[in-house]
Structure formats: C-alpha cells, structure tokens
Amino acid sequence: MARPCRASHFFGVVFFVLVIGIILYGLYVGAYIRRYYYDAYSKIQDVYVDQDILDRMMGLYDVHIASATAASSIEAHIDGVDKEASDGLKNFLLQKLQTGGSGMSQSQNFVSDVPSAQSGSVTFASGISNRTYPIVRMWFVQQIIVGVFAMIIFFPALDFFVQLPEGNGGPSLTTSLGLDSGTLGIIFVALFVILLAYSLVYLALWRSNYSFSFLPDYIVTKQGIIAKKERHLPYRAVQDVAVSQGIVERILGIATVRIENAEAAQVVGRGVTISSAISIPGQSLMKANETSDAIKRIALTKNSSQTGL
C-alpha cells in the first residue's frame, strides 16, 4: 500500500507545482506586456515576419530584425502585432535598409552628434574596467540563490528516486544500503553544505580572476581559475550590445552587459558551445547602461558602416 500512496503524493505535488507555475507565468506575461517597448535599430541586415501555430490561430505576427549576429535574429523581434502593423513595420524597415545602405538613415545624424574617438569618447571609456565597475556583492547573492534553488529541486527528487522500490516490488536503494530516513537526511544536509561551500569558494576565485578593460581600440577580458582565457574584441567589430536582467537580477537590482560580434557560436562537443559574446556580469543597472552607452558611442565612431547596434 505504501507504493501507491507515495506515487499519488508525488503526482499531487507535481500538479500543485504546475498550477503555481501557470499562475506565476500569467503574472509574468502581464508584467512583460506592460513593460514591453521597441525602438529603431541603426544597422539592420535582415527583416522577416513569422507565425507559429498559435500565432496563426490568433491572427498575430512577429517581426524579426537581425544584425550579423545569430542571437539578434532570435532576441530582436517585435511580438504580437496584427497583419497591418507587421506589413507596415516590415516595409518601413526594408525601405530604410535599402535607402540607407546598411541601416537607418537617421543613424547618420546620431553619429554626427557623437564625439570623435580622439576628442573624448575613448577617454571616457578607458576609465571603464573591473576596477571602476567591479562585480557588486549582490552578484554573489544572485549566484547563491540560483544554486540553492537548484539544490532545493534536486534533493527532493533524489530522495524520491532512491526510496522507490526496485522492479517487482524489491527493496529500495536506501533499504539495500541499510540507511534509514534520519541517516539519509544527514547525508543530504552534508552534501548541501559541501556544495554550498564549494560554490562560495568557486565564485570568489572566479571573481578575483575576472577582469575587463576598455582600451583605445578594443575591449579586453580575462577569466579562468586554472585554464585562462583572454579575449580582445575590437570596437569596429561590435554588432550588438544588450543589457539583460533575469528575475533574480531584477529583484537584486543588478544587470549583465552582453557584447557580440558577428562570429557564430562554436559547438565543441555534445551540448557544449563556445559563445563569441563578451559578458560583463554583476553590474548595477545604472553602470550597466553607462557601459552599454559607451560601447555604442565608440563603435559608431570607429566604423559606423559595420556596426549593428
């Protein structure tokens, strides 16, 4: 009798979690729509409109705007417009792409207002580094919250499976090992403490070995604890700059600056990819926006015909 009760209890918990997830997702979608906005892109290389099955059922269209990066065609899009709006946006953007050569004709006015690289914009950006824009302490809090949340999901799932009877009603793994629930709980707590301590040490070492700096012609980043990695991204090669915030980041008031060039991500193994993007994590939202604005100003002055900001 214990086996059916345990299974029904498990599925009851799963159903409850699904209901809560649906409610939270509904609240998220409402907040997303209230905060959603879009603005003109200065350099566009592709424009297309698509519909998935639900879009077709509801008469909605998504307008995608891509620069030379793979991520931009996915992330840079205008959601949920009707056919008239999608056609209008598509025609407007394509016209600007053709008449402006490589992008919006208005971008030329913007570029003319930007100080030249020799007249001060590089001087401003050269003051941006991990020393003046360090990873804030809230970044540690964010990483720990995400890690603890993952362990909260992992350990109950592990407990459920190790206590399941084997095939044909045989003993569970814990019974086979001679472990009672108290001993198993102590083992789980010890593993939790060990993993948490490891995470704290790893994060501290990663932060101490991470650095970035805006130099006159490129951005340089260095990271790695045992194996070291150093990247140099010329300003003229910058295609996209984005300031992103996950749920936990928004709560803690921090953001990540992501800088991409036109190089595609490389697949080096099963499920393992190397991204060409540079990420500057753990910045306050104000400093993240300052960093993003500085990159845009310098990239447009370096070679405005090849940037996709």
**Enclosing H/E stretch for 80:** strand 77-81
For residues 289-304, average pLDDT:
79
Pairing of β 272-274 and β 218-223:
unpaired
User: Beta-carbon neighbour count of residue 268 at 10 Å?
Assistant: 9
Statement: residue 59 has pLDDT above 60: yes
Confidence class for position 139, pLDDT limits 50, 70, 90: very high
- Tell me if residue 51 falls in helix, strand or coil: coil
The pLDDT, as a whole number, for residue 102 is 44
For residues 11-37, average pLDDT:
81
* Better-scored residue on pLDDT, 269 or 177: 177
User: Beta-carbon neighbour count of residue 60 at 10 Å?
Assistant: 17
Statement: residue 304 has pLDDT above 60: no
CA dihedral 292, 295, 296, 300 (to 10 degrees): 180
Statement: residue 210 has pLDDT above 90: yes
DSSP class per residue in 204-247:
HHHHHH-EEEE-SSEEEEEE-SSS-EEEEEEGGG--EEEEE--H
The token pair at 34 is: 């209230």
Least confident interval from 142-156, 249-263, 268-282: 268-282
* Better-scored residue on pLDDT, 293 or 111: 293
Statement: residue 189 has pLDDT above 60: yes
> How far apart, in whole angstroms, are the C-alpha atoms of residue 12 and residue 153?
16
Statement: residue 101 has pLDDT above 60: no
The pLDDT, as a whole number, for residue 120 is 41
> How far apart, in whole angstroms, are the C-alpha atoms of residue 211 and residue 201?
18
- Tell me if residue 306 falls in helix, strand or coil: coil
Structural domain boundaries in the chain: 38-113, 124-135+210-303, 139-207
Statement: residue 240 has pLDDT above 60: yes
The pLDDT, as a whole number, for residue 205 is 92
> What pTM did the predictor assign?
0.60
Statement: residue 128 has pLDDT above 70: yes
> How far apart, in whole angstroms, are the C-alpha atoms of residue 247 and residue 171?
42
For residues 135-152, average pLDDT:
89
Statement: residue 176 has pLDDT above 90: no
The pLDDT, as a whole number, for residue 6 is 58
Architecture of domain 124-135+210-303: Roll (2.30)
* Better-scored residue on pLDDT, 69 or 255: 255
Which range, 78-82, 133-137, 233-237, is most confident? Answer: 133-137
